[in-house]
Chain A
Amino acid sequence: MAAVKYIASEKLPDWLKSLAEKSRVLVPVAEGGGVVFRPYAPGCQPVFGSDATAPPKGSVFPACQELFRYERGKDAEDPGKGTLKLLPATEAEPTVVFGAKPCGARGFLIFDRVYMGKKFPDPYYINAREATVFVTMACSTANVENTCFCHWVGSGPADGAGSDVLLTPVAGGYTAEALTDKGAALLESPVLSDGAAKAAEADSVKAAAREALGEAPDISTSPAALLAAFDDMDFWRDQSDKCVSCGACTYLCPTCYCFTITDEPTGQSGRRMRSWDACMHFQFTLEASGHNPRPTKAHRLKNRVGHKFSYYPTLHEGIIACCGCGRCIKSCPVSVDIREIVQNAVARAKG
């Protein structure tokens, strides 16, 4: 483990400015009543307190991304014949995501297992992932909210998994720990000083935040419990009664990775795009024949919870596809609480 460094709050703009000279630096900023990640520019006021309204998911997995351009044309030698050129662009912009909570970065560990598969690795994702560095901010007790449940899913408020640098708020500034080589390179800046004297304070901040989350219930049986409830549609109607199928839970989720593919034509040329999609929407599984395997919101919520707490763990060594950030609960207009649904399924299975 590299030595702990320290940066005073007043020196943060200098560090951000120097980082922004080499990369796109995304910081959480207040916008439209929420907090979202936007490119840093000198003078901007990052919000490092409460967690951002939207996670930094788009830094690696943009909400809308070009897969390739196509160009139709006519064969110069035979005007009756057409031509078709496909032009992919997989380059990614060097990016530093600065000031996300650890859960926001950890979400990409869930993506990695799917997008970095052996048979069909996703070049767009992999290039963006490799070009991105995460400087996250451990939570203090001031940031622990009643919607947080990272400790239920094997994580915690100072979990560095998925982060390259972990900052911890201490008096007057932040300690900075490099967790990867990419992170260590960022800490070479002269605006950072030795932080050994602050390490104990940082440890107690982390411990207090973990303490504030309280005990986590045992949800280790959720994969089997959710499958056991699969055909109990009365149960799922109860769980989904309030849901309005808006999809906010999926769009704001750091671990939701589903997408759709659409074409955008402009005359004879155009683009094939992929865009975030949401399993909470009726159209998600609607087949061309008109058949829909998930015709009601009860079926769709079952899939969302089932995917995160049953199907994904079944495929990926028990790892839950949820980082416990609580955005789906906090931002749900009707307060659907995924924690309650999982616990209800576990309780149902126990009889």
Chain B
Amino acid sequence: MELFLHQLLAGIATGGIYACMALAVVMIYQAIDHFNFAQGEMAMFSTYIAWQLMQWGFPYWLAFTATVVISFIGGALIERALFKPIRTAPILSQIVVFIALFSILNSLAGFIWDYTIKSFPSPFPAEPILGNRLISAHDLGMIGVTLLLLALLYLHFRYTRLGLAMRAAAANPDSARLVGIRVGWMVALGWGMASAIGAVAGMMIAPIVFLEPNMMLSILLYGLAGAVVGGLNSPGGAVFGGFAVGVTENLAGTFVPVVGRELKLTIALVLIVCVLMLRPAGLFGRAAVSRV
């Protein structure tokens, strides 16, 4: 029972990270209708920036804030420079540009900061809270940060003019343009926000997996899976999906005999595909209705 509880909590904790990534994925998906395959590498790059700032002597939270701002600007710039010129190109061409961005960021990070594994500090106290050995303070903090982000996003999209404009630009660009919304800038804004969320996810996961250019590979995969399970047009669903994937992965790895350890990833993915078979638009997604 204690093992079960332990694995469950560990699953929820890693799920928090997947949830952050899933959230970032859904943000860009809302803005441009595509997966961003380079999302993980963007988050990794942001984390390196934070690490570099701390090496230069910045205190944690200052480096954290600066990184979020830099990532926001960087994300918006990437959209302006790389994706605006090909906005009307076929989807496959855009996916290839995502792949290109992925390999550029990965290679650059390795070139600038080399491939040695670096440790990254956690902002939360090292000793367990209340003598509770089941879950570390960092894990708890991570879950808290994820939920806080989700709440902020909800408020932004639900109650601010800018959030409304962004939703309008995504839902119906032509009509949005007619009422005076600058759709191009809304897309760039979506990229910026996704990049900033990714940066937070990166800085939260780095103390656990350590910092190196390939740290985000499997995390992005789980993040995508979470986003799809939850539904690509539902940020709340994406967060739920992220947690669900984290828990499933941990429990399957521990309790499915023989193949559990070797096939952790595979089992999680099979489950995801099964969910999709039952609900093709994700658990919380709305299915698009097609009319003839």
A, B from the same assembly:
no
Which A residues fall within an 8 A CB radius of B? Answer: none
